[in-house]
Amino acid sequence: MTELQNDRLVELFTTLCSINSPPRQERAVVEYVKGFLRGLGLEVREDNAAEVVAGDANNLVATLTANITGAPKIFFSAHFDTVEPNPNLKIIIQDGVIKTDGSTILGADDKAGMSAILEAIRIIVENNLPHGQIQLIFTVCEEIGLKGARALDLSLVDSDFGFVYDTGPPVGTVITQTPNHDRLMVHLLGKPAHAGVEPEKGINAIQIAAHAISQMKLGRIDAETTANIGVIHGGQATNIVCPEVFLEAEARSLDRAKLDAQVGHMIHLFEHAAHLYGGEAIIEIERHYEGYTLTEQDVPVQVVRRALKRLGLDAPMRPTGGGSDANVFIARGLPCCVVGTAHQKIHTHEEFVLIEDLAKSVDLTLAIIKEVTEMR
């Protein structure tokens, strides 16, 4: 990319980051992106995801009509929402690094991915470069359970395969394996009583929870499996034997049998502790997302690897312990792979991007499009 293109890429990226867009509040950034894409001549459509996710914005699907024939139809995807609000964002650009003053997140997850995609499309249109049909699928509410991807109206999507820009560098990293992920919502019921007058008549739900958790395997279970208790709350006052506790937990594993075993272990301990103290455990389990495994034989992976080679770059193929919209897309029949972009130290106030990596992401996107055009 030229210096002038770098400057406008930085402007695009920082503009996107400056638009506050936590989950369920993405309308302002959706409107900005709609205007940007319509200005380039793309057909832009929204679905009705807002109703499903209880938010103020929908998923956006934009289509750039092919100017050649015979090439596969592809999509690029990123998400609008950031992990937390950043309404008072203060951006610092210094020595090729874009970051904040440390008081908020930057929002590069996933606006680094989104800006790379948008800038590449702008270059394609401005220079009338050859391309097949390209769709952009930008989702809401990714950070709170991939909700936008789950609500995506697939009737708007007409693509053979695609690329989800939502992991960190090196630019072009391909995520080849992700875990299966279960969530547990646990409600432990005890019995209230006056803690100072007749505590023996009560059943303390906090004690039930403590007994179960003290014996539970948590953290890193093995190389493929993790588990965590992330939320716990209950109780009313110190003079009341706590009658109920609510917990939220999770388990993940690259091996589905190991996941089932870990979840079974956690359920057993909660139920056993409740029975031991005379209480009750009500447990709901939700498959948060299905895992997937890709190889170098999968077409999206092949395309990224060839595009990297075209640029003289290399990047690892690796598994991850997290999920993305790609998990939902693949489960819903949209072949794709996750591609590394520029964001680093995501979900922290130390988040930053290198301008060099932003530019590489644009170059990679253009190289992917060129590779696809040559698949005719």
| SS (HEC) of 197-211 | CCHHHCECHHHHHHH
pLDDT of residue 200: 96
Are the C-beta atoms of residues 198 and 240 closer than 8 Å to each other? no
Question: Nearest to residue 33, comparing CAs of 104, 122, 105?
Answer: 122
Mean pLDDT, 10 residues at a time, over the chain (376 residues)? 79 98 98 98 98 98 97 98 96 97 97 98 97 98 96 98 96 95 98 97 98 98 97 96 98 96 98 98 94 96 97 93 95 97 96 97 98 94
* Angle of helix 108-127 versus helix 3-18 axis, rounded to 10: 140
CA distance 19 to 330: 30
Are the C-beta atoms of residues 270 and 280 closer than 8 Å to each other? no
Six-digit token pair at 123? 């270059």
Helix (H, G, I), strand (E, B) or coil at 227: strand
Q: pTM, whole model, 2 decimals?
A: 0.91
Helix (H, G, I), strand (E, B) or coil at 75: strand
Q: Which residues contact 317 (CB under 8 A, 6 or more apart)?
A: 173, 174, 176, 296, 301
Active centre residues (catalytic)? 81, 142
Put the strands of the sheet holding 244-253 in their side by side order. 219-222, 225-234, 244-253, 180-189, 280-289
Alpha helices, H only, the chain: 3-18, 27-39, 49-53, 108-127, 147-151, 205-214, 256-277, 299-311, 325-331, 355-373
- Domain 3-178+291-373 sits in CATH at 3.40.630.10
126-136: burial string, b at 16+ Cβ within 10 Å, e else = eeeeebbbbbb
pLDDT of residue 6: 86
Cα torsion for 144, 147, 149, 151, to the nearest 10°?
-170
Tell me yes or no: is domain 180-289 CATH 3.30.70.360.
yes
pLDDT of residue 4: 64
Helices (H) and strands (E) in the chain, counts: 10, 17
pLDDT of residue 5: 72
Count how many residues are written for the chain: 376
- Domain segments of the chain: what residues? 3-178+291-373, 180-289
pLDDT of residue 71: 97
pLDDT of residue 2: 63
* Angle of helix 299-311 versus helix 355-373 axis, rounded to 10: 120
